[in-house]
DNA sequence: TATTAATCGTACCAGTTGGTATCGATGTCA
DNA sequence: TGACATCGATACCAACTGGTACGATTAATA
């Protein structure tokens, strides 16, 4: 990918940002390919064409580097979820789009690698929880509450409703992939997302505006 | 607990089995307290009053030892699930008992520690999947199929139904605990199990024999 | 009681890793 | 163009870990 030889001397601000991203890319890719234990500072440096000294200087050690990878990933994930929820259109379609995206996200190589890494380091685990679950959850809960306010859903507690939706969508898929099963393909994810939303609307829909095939 | 000084010489078969269990106890406790990375052969040996040589001789290295812990745990878990399913009584009660047990199990200290450990070692992950998920799943599916055969549930695919039930019960609770949140207390687990079974029966019950409060 | 096998305790070794220091090279900026 | 900050490469160190070897000790067993 970046076959450019790594620059040597001082870097201007813009180039520095690119370079930082390239280092995070290398770390993320290595993490996904080789796992947490094999993701050594030396190997990250080699792939990024950087030196261990620079890595330590920029990120403050291995944990800081992985934390940076995690935060970048969480930012992207949150953006994707927000986009799916703000897509507009009938609730069934919006929810299915969200569900499909979430399922693909949580079982994707990067998320899987980062979750595995987090299991071995309490600090990283806390960061993953804060920058992932606790950012995405409220987004969805707000959307569900809005639907309820518009009379399109029936629910007491948006948090509880999100938990149910999450369970219906993810089932045991994430933990199985974390334990080594291959990620379900796009078609399977689509089916699973549709089934989940169907069940969710059976439980929480008002039976009219959210009816299947209805506008 | 076993404050007995570790025996020195040759051991008869019965004592050997006890000793083996004591070693596994030590490893399991250490794993739960200190985490995978801190669970070193030296510390296990120290706690069990054994020598590293014996540990390696009996279990064939660290991975083998952890595998033994994992299998013992899986055996116990499978037995508990089977017992819950064979308890007899109205489906709602049986399912709630199963759900409550599963939730407690998967968020318990031992299961959490073993899952975290498995995330770092593909071999252990495969073992956990095989001895856990793939043993418990079929038990539940058979039970659900039996209920369907008796006309008490409506379902096309027992595997699919189990997946839905699992999702409703576990939600994101397991992954959150794996990432460091405290285990929900017994009351919360009970509530969550009841809500899950309620939703499951709404989706798959026949509306009569499984009705709330009904026999 | 003598024999034998198993076990503990300890020391030891090889391999690995994160992090730091040093030095020459390179690009920026005045 | 020159001074300077930064970077890559390399070497290096300390700490840790899994696993093995060896002698002393203990208990089962004949």
**Cβ density class A201-213: b for 16+ within 10 Å, e for less:** bebbbeeebbeee
Taking an 8 Å cut-off on Cβ atoms, the answer to whether B176 and A129 are in contact is yes
Mean pLDDT of A44-55: 96
Q: What value, to the nearest 5°, has the Cα angle with vertex A32 and ends A29 and A37?
A: 105
Crossing angle (nearest 10°) for helices B62-85 and B52-59: 60
The larger pLDDT score, comparing residue A3 to residue B166, is at: B166
- Residues B176, A188: Cα–Cα separation, whole Å: 25
Alpha-carbon distance A40 to nearest alpha carbon in chain B (angstroms):
14
- Residues B123, A146: Cα–Cα separation, whole Å: 46
Residue A189 burial (CB count, 10 A): 20
pLDDT mean values, one per 10 residues, chain B (215 residues): 54 80 97 96 97 96 98 97 94 97 98 97 97 97 96 95 98 98 98 98 80 50
* pLDDT computed for residue A59 by the predictor: 96
The verdict on pTM exceeding 0.75 is yes
A122 token code pair: 């309490």
* pLDDT computed for residue A10 by the predictor: 59
B75, B33 in Cβ contact below 8 A?
no
* pLDDT computed for residue A3 by the predictor: 41
Helix (H, G, I), strand (E, B) or coil at A120: coil
Taking an 8 Å cut-off on Cβ atoms, the answer to whether A115 and B115 are in contact is no
B163 token code pair: 């997946």
A86, A146 in Cβ contact below 8 A?
no
- For residue B120, give the DSSP letter: T
Crossing angle (nearest 10°) for helices A62-85 and A91-106: 160
* pLDDT computed for residue B188 by the predictor: 98
Helix (H, G, I), strand (E, B) or coil at A3: coil
Residue B212 CB partners (closer than 8 Å, separation 6+): B92, B198
* pLDDT computed for residue A177 by the predictor: 98
Instruction: Please give the distance of CA A207 from its chain centroid, rounded to a whole number.
Output: 32
Residue A57 CB partners (closer than 8 Å, separation 6+): none
φ, ψ of residue A205 to 5 degrees: the values are -75, 165
Helices (H), B8-90: 13-34, 41-48, 52-59, 62-85
The secondary structure of A133-178 as a DSSP string is IHHHHHHHHHHHHHHHHTTSB--S-HHHHHHHHHHHHHTTHHHHHH
B94, B84 in Cβ contact below 8 A?
yes
Work out the mean pLDDT of chain A and round it to a whole number.
92
B148, B158 in Cβ contact below 8 A?
yes
Residues of chain A with Cβ-Cβ distance to B37 below 8 Å are 120
pLDDT in tens, A127-181: 999 999 999 999 999 999 999 999 999 999 999 999 999 999 999 999 999 999 9
Strand D reaches within 7 A of the B9 CB: yes
Helix (H, G, I), strand (E, B) or coil at B183: coil
H or E stretch covering B1: none
- Residues A81, A156: Cα–Cα separation, whole Å: 23
The larger pLDDT score, comparing residue B96 to residue A7, is at: B96
CA nearest to A53, candidates A44, A192, B143, A76: A44
CA nearest to A175, candidates A123, A92, A94, A107: A107
Is any Cβ of chain B less than 8 angstroms from the Cβ of A145? no
Confidence of residue A67 (pLDDT cuts 50, 70, 90): very high
Residue B214 CB partners (closer than 8 Å, separation 6+): B90, B208
**Which protein residues have Cβ within 7 A of any strand C atom?**
A 7-12, 38-42, 51-53, 56, 61-63; B 6-11, 16, 19, 45, 48-54, 57-58
Q: Lowest mean pLDDT: which of A82-91, A203-212, B172-181, B182-191?
A: A203-212
Confidence of residue A12 (pLDDT cuts 50, 70, 90): low
B124, B70 in Cβ contact below 8 A?
yes
CA nearest to B201, candidates B189, B210, B191, B192: B210
Strand D reaches within 7 A of the B49 CB: no
Size of interface A-B (CB pairs under 8 A): 99
Sign of the four-CA dihedral B135, B136, B141, B144: positive
Is any Cβ of chain A less than 8 angstroms from the Cβ of B167? yes
Strand D reaches within 7 A of the B62 CB: yes
Measured torsion, CA atoms of residues B186, A202, A136, A143, in degrees rounded to the nearest 10: -130
């Amino acid at each position: 990918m970046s076959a450019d030889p790594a620059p040597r001397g001082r870097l201007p601000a813009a180039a520095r940002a690119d370079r930082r991203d390239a280092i995070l890319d290398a770390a993320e890719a290595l993490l996904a390919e080789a796992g947490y234990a094999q993701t050594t500072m030396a190997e990250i440096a080699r792939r990024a064409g950087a030196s261990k000294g620079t890595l330590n200087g920029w990120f403050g050690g291995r944990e800081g580097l992985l934390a940076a990878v995690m935060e970048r990933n969480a930012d992207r994930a949150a953006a994707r979820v927000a986009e799916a929820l703000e897509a507009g259109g009938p609730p069934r379609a919006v929810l299915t789009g969200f569900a499909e995206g979430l399922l693909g996200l949580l079982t994707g190589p990067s998320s899987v690698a980062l979750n595995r890494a987090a299991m071995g380091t309490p600090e990283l685990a806390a960061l993953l929880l804060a920058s992932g679950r606790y950012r995405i959850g409220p987004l969805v809960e707000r959307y569900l509450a809005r639907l309820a306010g518009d009379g399109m859903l029936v629910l007491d507690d948006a948090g509880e409703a999100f938990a149910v939706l999450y369970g219906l969508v993810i089932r045991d898929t994430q933990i199985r992939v974390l334990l080594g099963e291959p990620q379900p393909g796009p078609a399977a994810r689509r089916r699973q997302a549709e089934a989940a939303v169907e069940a969710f609307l059976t439980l929480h829909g008002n039976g009219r505006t959210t009816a299947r095939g209805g506008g």
